[in-house]
Amino acid sequence: MITRSPILLTVVMVFYLVGCSSNGDNKLRYLESRKALAAELEKDNRLAEAYVQWSALQDMFPHNSDISDKVDELQQLIDSRRDSILASIDKRKTTAKKHELQRLYLKVLALEPGNREAIGALREYERGVADSAANLKAQNIKRVFVAKKQKSQQEQDKQRFTADAGELLAKSNFSGLLQLVDRFLERYPEHQPALNYRFQALLKMGESELTAGQTEDAVEFFERALKVQSIDHSALAQKTQGIKKRLSDDYFRMGMKSFKNDIDKAVDYLQTSVSYNPDNLKAYQQLIRATRIQQNLRKINGHTGE
């Protein structure tokens, strides 16, 4: 029917061409607007985005040599900048910090978003960071585990010590208790219950010596007890002080007794008396006197001897 009516065929063709020419106009409009956009992007240094615009224009106008030239020109600019950054990376690979290299690779991708070398390097970097984090976490877990295990071992040691110490105390085995405590304190020197047990053991042993009349041995135990740290010693200190005063007086009397017969012995006794009570003025005066006599006697003896 169409071929039989040239007028109608013409009408159809006109409609068709109107449609086509409108499409052509629209393409030209697209070309102009995108060229402007690409130029703006390039001017703003957004080269990869400009490249997409030019590349799409080349796709639409494959025979337009201006566009092809522009695509080549932009590609060369991108290549040259990329190569310059990659060369800088190569140069600084051993000296630069990781985050500096990471930034350079990111700059490569900003120019060429599909660059495999940069993606690979950044992925390795990401993997390294994640691996380090995982290893650090594993090490921390291990450290916490070891600490927990140690704590648990310590708890067990302390529980066992408390039980054993309580048993020895109940049996009044103070020397055994002291040995146990001293061994335990070598490992846990700050353990307060052990320090309390040590004080208690030394106190009981001193009292036992005191009861047996071994006053000096008692004082020795008491003085060791007084050296136990973190304990309130005030009562024992007072008690020990009293005993030492008595001992000082005893030794003073013994010194005075020996004064006439054995001056050396007298000096020893008086020295002991002063050592138990440095405030014993009488003992101190007699010690000076005895020492002077002792020296004179030694001089006389020495002179006679010549």
Partner 1 sequence: MKLVVLVCLVFLVSACTGTGHKILNSSEDYTVVEAGSNDTYSSLAQRYLGDARLGSVLARYNPQRELEKGSQVLIPLKNPNPSGVFSNGYQRIPILCYHQFTEHKDKRSSMVVYAGDFDRQMRFLAENGYQVIPLKDVRPFLEGHKPLPDKAVAITIDDGYRSYFEVAYPILKKYGFASTMFIYPDFIGGGVGLSWEQVKILDEDSLVDIQSHSKSHASLSPLPEGEEAKVYTDRLKKEVETTDKILTNKLGRPANHFAYPYGDSSQELVSLLEQNEYEMALTVKKGGNPAFAYPYLLRRTMVYGKGSFKTFQRHLDVFKKTDLK
- Chain contacts with partner 1 (rule: CB under 8 A): 1-2, 5, 8, 11-12, 15-16, 18-20, 22-23, 26-27, 29-30, 33-34, 37, 44-49, 52-53, 55-56, 59-60, 103, 106-107, 109-110, 113-115, 118-119, 122-123, 126-127, 130-131, 133-134, 137-138, 141-142, 144-146, 149
Give least dist CB 216 to partner 1, A. Answer: 54
- Cβ nearer to partner 1, comparing 11 with 212: 11
Burial of 85 (0-12, 13-18, 19+ CB in 10 A): buried
Give least dist CB 143 to partner 1, A. Answer: 8
- Cβ nearer to partner 1, comparing 123 with 227: 123
- Cβ nearer to partner 1, comparing 35 with 246: 35
Give least dist CB 151 to partner 1, A. Answer: 14
Q: Is 46 left (phi over 0), alpha (psi -120 to 50) or beta?
A: beta
- Cβ nearer to partner 1, comparing 51 with 221: 51
Burial of 7 (0-12, 13-18, 19+ CB in 10 A): exposed
Helices (H), the chain: 6-43, 47-60, 65-92, 98-111, 116-170, 174-187, 192-211, 215-226, 234-258, 263-276, 281-305
- Cβ nearer to partner 1, comparing 5 with 192: 5
Give least dist CB 69 to partner 1, A. Answer: 19
Give least dist CB 37 to partner 1, A. Answer: 5
**51 is written with which tokens?**
């490249």
| Residues near 228 by beta carbon (within 8 Å), at least 6 away in sequence | 195, 198, 199, 202
**196 is written with which tokens?**
């309390």
Helices (H), 171-191: 174-187
- Cβ nearer to partner 1, comparing 29 with 257: 29
Give least dist CB 12 to partner 1, A. Answer: 6
